[in-house]
Chains A and B, each alone.
Chain A
């Protein structure tokens, strides 16, 4: 099993969700996060004050799925979330040791 962690632009979530659903992904977890990478924040003006906002709001999408499906889902996410400008985000791929469905106590790929 693999866990896909995608950091994306917040307004790309709907596109991502539809794209991965078409590939048969059963569930995703979304968290609001802030941070920075190459996109170095932006300036905001409040009357006379100008603030450099370092931490940019993003969404973190987590998907756990079987090894075979991972590549296609990563491909789909990078397709829909790409604008070509700095700040499009990142996708991390990590191995997952096990998974348990709490209701049925199924484990492994069946639970993911």
Chain B
């Protein structure tokens, strides 16, 4: 039935434990045909609320965050790109995206077309959560995941801001969602759900159907790899292929409205509670751990970023505070359901410090013009968060460890190996970087050779608002 779930767990680890267990315990027989339990109204309410919060993150949150950072002649182009990409992303998800990401298939890299056009899905359709015998409405899960698929390409536009052609970025989004987002989401998040893990054998059979990175044991609670590394590397590729903005490194290209950036960052923080805590799929006690981690990591990251600025550059800036908050949110995204509360503070602080360097030292050394630091914040923050998830998931460091659905218990804390988990995390990071990077190179090149990626010099100097949209943000 509808058993598509998205929390990853250590597939290979689980299989090993399961095999050992098989020799000790008799195979339990479960009533497979019992009617599915009805959804809990609290879970349904939280799922829909979380979905709305992710929309709040996107439009207005991300749109304003980006819009404030560009010059006033380009602010509308950013607001417009984020909003229209969101609409494209949501509709594509209904047509075939959800099916490719969250339906089963013969291979571990992408789903099938069984659920294209949301075939067969009604208000009565159910899908699982992370607790056995607990279901939520599948349409609610679809909407929640649709907002993820729709905000992610919106992140990429920041890297090409102030010079990309509107038609070109829309075409890129359609190609990239199809060939990068849906496969990566399937690889990381697709599994058969906890109810399939009745016995070690059944668990192994269920894992055979799960995503490639899921089976590598890569943990990604809310989208560090699927959303942030995925979008961040695409941004870097785009920034390099489209070339630097006119005047980059020579004239000032300062943000035109920092209060707008602050409003955007604040809305992102608020909305991110839907993004992260909603990914728990249930409104239970565990959700409050995810909530706490999202709160603490962000505060720690914001403080870390401005402290570095204060020491190195002499003044703590508003843009730094806003960037620090986003870096912390990015880094805690993969970790928020896997680490303890104090681990989240460490992850936030470390990520912010690495991201400050990525947006200054690394960026200068490499010389690319990623206008709004999509790579420096989302990709680098996502990589730091993904790797540290493997570290702070350790029970010795206050982490949750990985629940074993066959044993119906957590494994022995002493058996946790940080090395093994970090290797699993590196699989997630590496495959996402390569996969999305390659898809992006091909897609951007293809677009550049056909309709053209960039506006001409005169148009760039005039500004995208009047050139692409026939409007001006500020009149009178």
Contact = CB atoms under 8 A, between A and B. Distances in A.
Nearest to B312: A45
Contacts of B360: 47-48
Nearest to A54: B252
Contacts of A50: 313
A43 to B, nearest CB: 9
A48 B254 contact: no
Contacts of A46: 254-255, 317, 319
Interface residues of A, number: 10
A49 interface: yes
A45 B253 CA distance: 11
Interface string B293-333: 00000000000000001000101010110010000000000
B401 interface: no
A53 interface: yes
A30 to B, nearest CB: 20
Contacts of B359: 47-48
B364 interface: yes
Nearest to B305: A47
A52 B254 CA distance: 11
B373 interface: yes
Contacts, number: 32
A45 B309 contact: yes
Interface string A33-65: 000000000001111111111000000000000
Contacts of B373: 47-48
Interface in A62-87: none
B319 A51 contact: no
Contact of A49 (B253, B315, B323): B253
B363 interface: yes
A52 B250 CA distance: 10
A50 B312 CA distance: 13
Contacts of B254: 44, 46, 49, 51
A50 B251 CA distance: 10
Contacts of B313: 45, 50
Contacts of A44: 252, 254
Interface of A: 44-53
The 4 closest A-B pairs by CB, nearest first: A48-B360, A51-B252, A48-B359, A47-B359
